[in-house]
Amino acid sequence: MIKFTVISTKGGVGKTTLTANLGALLADMGLRVLLIDADVQPSLSKYFPLATSKPSAGLTEVIVRGEVTVPCITATIYQNLDIVVSDDPEGNLPHWLLNRIDRGFRLRFALQSPAVAGAYDCVLIDTQGAIGPLQDAAVLAADILVSPITPEILSAREFKDGTMELLDRLEPGSALGATLGPMKAVIYRQDRTADARVIASGIRDDFIKLKGRVSVLDTVVPHAKAYKEAATLRIPVHRHERKREGVAPSACTVMHQLAWELIPSLQGVYAESIRMQERIA
Ligand X SMILES: Nc1ncnc2c1ncn2[C@@H]1O[C@H](COP(=O)(O)OP(=O)(O)OP(=O)(O)O)[C@@H](O)[C@H]1O
AA identity, residue 7:
I
The partner in contact with residue 228, picked from ligand X, Mg ion, none with C-beta cut-offs of 5 to 8 angstroms by kind, is ligand X
CA distance 125 to 134: 11
Site string for ligand X, 131-170 (x = CB under 6 A): ----------------------------------------
> 278 and 44 in contact (C-beta within 8 Å)?
no
Spell out, one character per residue from 177 to 206, where the chain touches ligand X: x when CB under 6 A holds, - when not. Answer: ------------x-----------------
Stretch that binds Mg ion, among 9-17, 27-35, 108-116, 165-173 (CB under 5 A): 9-17
Q: Give the helix/strand (H/E) hosting 273.
A: helix 272-280
Among the listed ranges 43-51, 112-120, 150-158, 183-191, the one in contact with Mg ion (CB under 5 A) is 43-51
Q: 3-state class of 84 per DSSP?
A: strand
Sign of the dihedral through C-alpha 121, 127, 131, 132: negative
Burial (Cβ within 10 Å: 0-12, 13-18, ≥19) of residue 112: middle
Reduced to 3 states (helix: H, G, I; strand: E, B; else coil), residue 146 is: strand
Q: Minimum CB separation from ligand X for residue 12, in Å?
A: 4
Q: Which stretch binds Mg ion (CB under 5 A): 12-20, 52-60, 84-92, 259-267?
A: 12-20
CA-CA distance, 265 to 252, in Å (whole number)? 19
CB of 228 to ligand X, least distance (A): 4
Decide which of ligand X, Mg ion, none touches 223; Cβ closer than 5 to 8 Å per partner kind.
ligand X
| Contacting range for ligand X; rule: CB under 6 A; set: 6-14, 172-180, 202-210, 264-272 | 6-14
Q: How far is CA 130 from the centre of its chain?
A: 15
> Do residues 48 and 81 lie in contact, with contact meaning Cβ atoms separated by under 8 Å?
yes
CB of residue 16 vs ligand X: minimum separation in angstroms?
Answer: 3
Residues that bind ligand X (CB under 6 A): 11-17, 39, 43, 128-129, 189, 221, 223-224, 227-228, 231
